[in-house]
Amino acid sequence: MKLLIIEDDEAFARTLSRRLAKHGFDCHIEHNEEQVIATLESVEPEYVLLDMKLQTLSGLHFIKQIKAFNNSIKLVLLTGFASIATAVEAVKLGADDYLTKPADTLLIAQTLLGKENIEQEELPKERMSAERLEWEHIQQVLKANEGNVSETARQLNMHRRTLQRKLQKKPVQK
């Protein structure tokens, strides 16, 4: 089961690769958006996990090209900036599914393989709490804004002081 992970965050891509390998995937990573099609042709994957926000391009840019290469590739778009409009656009362009970050590895594997391919016992007993999800989302937006608290607060539609208080708290477990 060859999987091509197209993700510009190298550390995140390596982590995904290690974790998805435990679910039986033969993972290949491409960080450079200029090399995506060349890597696609050399790897010939059955599955593609495509990040929405790459270095300079949107992952939406590659969906038609990937599907034109091989329409049977199972393509899942992964994004930290979810919206109904981008989800609809991704599906219209040919994506098979759409997941928002943070998505746990089991959910990604289930989405790539189809839920019937994962044993019920493998499902996590606990889901991430709403507080933890909020903390993870704040961290992602802060990282995207290169640590700019004011811009992050604007994007999250949150008062700057409220965001600073949330950032001072330790991350909530699960």
Whole-prediction pTM? 0.63
CA angle 154, 159, 163 (to 5 degrees): 90
* pLDDT-derived band at 47, boundaries 50, 70, 90: very high
Q: What mean pLDDT value characterizes the chain? A: 80
Residues 6+ positions from 140 with CB-CB distance below 8 Å: 80, 101, 102
Residue, of 30 and 47, whose pLDDT is higher: 47
Query: 130-168, what's its fold?
Result: Arc Repressor Mutant, subunit A (1.10.10)
* Percent of all residues in the chain with a pLDDT value above 90, rounded to a whole number: 2
52-109 pLDDT, tens digit per residue, is: 887 788 888 888 888 888 888 888 888 877 677 777 788 888 888 888 877 778 888 8
**Location of structure tokens 């890597």:** 39
Start-to-end Cα distance in the chain: 30
User: Per the CATH hierarchy, to which homologous superfamily does domain 2-122 belong?
Assistant: Response regulator (3.40.50.2300)
Residue, of 83 and 31, whose pLDDT is higher: 31
How much is the pLDDT for 166? Answer: 83
In the chain, list all ranges with CATH 1.10.10.60.
130-168
Q: Which two tokens stand for residue 1?
A: 């089961």
In the chain, list all ranges with CATH 3.40.50.2300.
2-122
Query: Among the residues of 70-148, which ranges form H helices?
Result: 84-93, 105-113, 130-144
Pairing mode, if any, of strands 74-79 and 47-51? parallel
* Percent of all residues in the chain with a pLDDT value above 70, rounded to a whole number: 86
How much is the pLDDT for 59? Answer: 80
CA distance 49 to 165: 35
Q: Which of 25, 64, 62 is nearest to 47 (CA)?
A: 25
Average the pLDDT over 31-58 and give the result.
84
Look up residue 157 and give its amino acid: N
